[in-house]
Amino acid sequence: MKDAMPASRPRRRTSTLPQMQVARVTLPDEIYRQIKTMILDGGLIPGELVTIQGLATAFGVSAMPVREALQRLTAERALTVISGRSVGIPEVDARRLTDLSRVRVEMEGLAAEWATPHVTAADQAKLQNLVTVMATAAEAGDTRTYVRANHDFHFTVYAASGSETLLGTIEGIWLQVSPYFHLLHSSGNYLAANEEHKLILKALQDGDAKACAQHVREDITSATRVLLSLLP
């Protein structure tokens, strides 16, 4: 009996890149930082690809420092090589997503707990504004704005933990999973998640570290449940 032919995958489309400025002192490091920020902020989504030449043109540099930056990001599993001259977001399966989410629940819950006593009034004002931005973006179907604001919300909280080690660990996981947050809009998860964001903010205002950690964990768990249902 012949093996079944594998299902054809949808063709990736080329992402449109904005013009970007970089400092010329340590080009590979700066390009790495900016591409990493673009991934975390939702600037590159699953199904899109970027070319080395496209990035070099956007940054106004040669291809060599772009290649160095991309090598670091592929080693971190934030990007994968699609062809010899282009990269994209790696595909994720249920097993990988579940593994990443289990670690997120522990690490991000801990960061939220540590952060609670140190979140300032300015932090709380910023978080409140981000909740408003996400509510507007969810209603408008603006996924990029929502994903960017969601990242800013969580990392404003986690940065207050004061642990660079913990923050770096969380960022490494987000590089692998956050591009898939784009898939959540059609499920209605954005609105549900933003209700959790409000509860996270309320716990921070109350100084309730345990409640803050719990709402962060519930936010991650509910989003993971939806993503698992959406994966092929």
For residue range 199-211, what is the model confidence (pLDDT) as tens digits?
Answer: 999 999 999 999 9
Q: How confident is the prediction for the chain on average, in pLDDT?
A: 89
Convert the pLDDT of each residue in 119-129 to its tens digit: 999 999 999 99
Residues in the chain: 232
Tokens of 182: 């784009």
Give the model's pLDDT for residue 144: 87
Q: Is 19 left (phi over 0), alpha (psi -120 to 50) or beta?
A: beta
Does the structure show a pLDDT above 60 at 22? no
Between helix 27-40 and helix 164-177 the angle, nearest 10°, is 70
Q: What is the pTM of this model?
A: 0.82
Sheet of strand 80-83, all strands in order from the earlier edge strand to the far edge: 13-14, 48-51, 86-88, 80-83
